[in-house]
């Protein structure tokens, strides 16, 4: 396979490939729908290499729209459906998207907010045409750009990670192989499709010729009911969801069809791991570590989950994962070092950002077996004498809440935009349920009292940013401290208020 959409040929033509509620499509029907949408893109003037953004809830139409981008020879830009107009506008402008695919209600909101810029619009409807007469374009090869996944950096607005068709296809093969996906699997898709692990549910499922069941859930019981209704065999989630699923009462026999569980997007609390193992003793539990810049990096053999629940395991197939000491050499056992990932899963860099690309994507260390360009994660890990890896911490100031990577600078910019603060610093503080939550330390603007400023700020931010970016707690100070360079002293603020 050379192109992402060719994954749809992996399933038996008459086998069910995609389910949404009471609706379902066979692999053959989905393939026809993808061709029809690709033809619609071509009719809209989309050419090879153009960026096509998809901003949608989790629907059959959204999946068809995403895979049709590859068939049209274009580049997919998936946008998280929880993002508001300002964030969507940034992604559209930054990616230079030629076309945005979305639902009517979302389109109206973006038009009202003047967020589309020069991007054309195609509205998703349930009765998309099946005319495939207009021949879709095809990309030149597997190393062509297939997708740009936007993820927050430690500073500034979200940055786009560039993934090739090879990146995505090798990733699907790798994950499907170690999890053991097969054609009779029924995989529940609960993560956002704009999230690399969420999109992976589609690619690994299709690679195995399995059935993927789409679910936008409101409550953890919705997930439990979907597992029972559809006879789900595979479920991948992030720690906040697993915490909720571990807390609810599962009826006797519920979840008995589950063959595997997989965690990504943050460290799983050990008590939750123990509870899941008790709830689903026959299901294999995969504890994983992911890196958008390299798709995914490590997993723990499920046979070791009981004895080593704190470990992130070792390298996934087709990846080389190293622990690099501060001197550039290989770290000794139990010596902390930076996790560095080499191999065919390493992304092509950041979209239109040579400086940050040069910082994160650098030559592999001299002791690397695969060599080439590696993704230097900025995460500190250690490897024990048995070869198992353990996460130690991040070297940057990223906030990771509910499986979402959040830029402190982006939160601060949103706070400033409310007009309620004169100065603001966003920090991530530990939270048992969410991994981290946002602490905002700010001074009121315009002579407001802290009460007035907080009321204005919370109301305006709630309308402007997704929930995981909202401050859990706000500390108001008359003046924020500065360091010797005149910058806001984040170290002192964390020391005094971040406990």
Going along the chain from its start, the domains and CATH numbers come out as 4-389 (3.40.50.12780), 399-497 (3.30.300.30)
Instruction: Identify which has the larger pLDDT, 131 or 199.
Output: 199
How confident is the model over 301-339, as pLDDT tens digits?
999 999 999 999 999 999 999 999 999 999 999 999 999
- Enter the pTM of the model: 0.88
Mean pLDDT of the chain: 92
Q: What percent of the chain has pLDDT over 90?
A: 77
Q: Give the integer Cα–Cα distance in Å for 431 and 437.
A: 6
Mean pLDDT of 366-391: 95
> What pLDDT is attached to residue 153?
46
Q: Are 388 and 313 in contact (CB under 8 A)?
A: yes
Residue from 68, 62, 60, 69 nearest 21 by CA: 60
Mean pLDDT of 20-44: 94
Helices (H), ranges, 220-309: 220-230, 239-247, 270-279
DSSP line for 36-49: HHHHHHHHTT--TT
How confident is the model over 173-215, as pLDDT tens digits?
999 999 999 999 999 999 999 999 999 999 999 999 999 999 9
Q: Are 415 and 162 in contact (CB under 8 A)?
A: no
**Band of residue 477 on the pLDDT scale cut at 50, 70, 90:** very high
Task: Give, as one character, the DSSP assignment of residue 187.
Answer: E
As to burial, measured by CB atoms within 10 angstroms (0-12 exposed, 13-18 middle, 19+ buried), residue 466 is: middle
How confident is the model over 272-305, as pLDDT tens digits?
999 999 999 999 999 999 888 998 999 999 999 9
Output the CA angle 264-268-269, nearest 5 degrees.
170
Q: Give the integer Cα–Cα distance in Å for 281 and 174.
A: 25
Q: Are 11 and 206 in contact (CB under 8 A)?
A: yes
> What pLDDT is attached to residue 444?
95
């Amino acid at each position: 396979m050379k192109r992402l959409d060719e994954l749809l040929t992996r399933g038996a033509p008459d086998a069910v490939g995609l389910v949404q509620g009471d609706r379902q499509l066979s692999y053959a029907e989905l393939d026809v729908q993808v061709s029809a949408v690709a033809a619609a893109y071509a009719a809209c003037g989309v050419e090879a290499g153009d960026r096509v953004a998809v901003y949608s809830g989790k629907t059959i139409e959204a999946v068809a729209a995403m895979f049709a981008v590859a068939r049209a020879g274009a580049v997919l830009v998936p946008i998280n459906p929880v993002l508001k107009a300002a964030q969507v506008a940034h992604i559209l402008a930054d990616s230079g998207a030629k076309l945005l695919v979305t639902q009517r209600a979302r389109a109206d909101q973006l038009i009202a907010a003047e967020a589309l810029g020069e991007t054309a619009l195609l509205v998703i409807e349930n009765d998309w045409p099946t005319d495939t007469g207009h021949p879709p374009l095809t990309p030149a090869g597997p190393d062509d750009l297939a997708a740009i996944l936007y993820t927050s950096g430690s500073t500034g607005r979200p940055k786009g990670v560039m993934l090739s068709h090879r990146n995505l296809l090798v990733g699907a093969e790798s994950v499907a192989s170690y999890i053991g996906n097969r054609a009779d699997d029924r995989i529940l898709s609960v993560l956002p499709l704009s999230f690399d692990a969420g999109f992976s549910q589609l690619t690994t499922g299709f690679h195995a010729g399995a059935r993927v069941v789409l679910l936008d859930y409101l409550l953890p019981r919705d997930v439990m009911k979907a597992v029972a209704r559809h006879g789900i065999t595979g479920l991948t989630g992030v720690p906040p969801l697993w915490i909720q699923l571990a807390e609810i009462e599962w009826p006797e026999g519920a979840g008995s069809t589950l063959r595997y569980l997989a965690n990504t997007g943050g460290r799983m609390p050990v008590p939750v791991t123990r509870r899941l193992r008790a709830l689903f003793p026959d299901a294999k539990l995969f504890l994983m570590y992911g890196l958008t810049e390299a798709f995914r990096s490590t997993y723990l053999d499920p046979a070791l989950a009981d004895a080593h629940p704190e470990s992130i395991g070792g390298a996934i197939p087709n990846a080389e994962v190293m622990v690099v000491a501060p001197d550039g050499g290989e770290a000794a056992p139990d010596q902390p070092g930076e996790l560095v990932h080499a191999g065919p899963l390493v992304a092509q860099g950041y979209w239109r950002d040579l400086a940050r690309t040069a910082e994160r994507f650098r030559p592999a260390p001299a002791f690397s077996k695969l060599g080439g360009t590696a993704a230097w994660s900025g995460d500190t890990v250690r490897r024990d004498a048995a070869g198992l890896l353990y996460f130690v911490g991040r070297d940057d100031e990223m906030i990771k809440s509910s499986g979402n990577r959040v830029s402190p600078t982006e939160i601060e910019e949103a706070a400033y935009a409310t007009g309620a603060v004169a100065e603001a610093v966003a920090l991530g503080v530990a939270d048992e349920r969410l991994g981290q939550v946002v602490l905002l330390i700010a001074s009121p603007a315009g002579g407001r009292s802290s009460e007035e400023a907080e009321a204005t700020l919370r109301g305006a931010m709630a309308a402007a940013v997704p929930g995981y970016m909202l401050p859990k707690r706000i500390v108001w100070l008359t003046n924020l401290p500065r360091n010797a360079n005149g910058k806001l002293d984040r170290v002192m603020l964390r020391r005094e208020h971040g406990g």
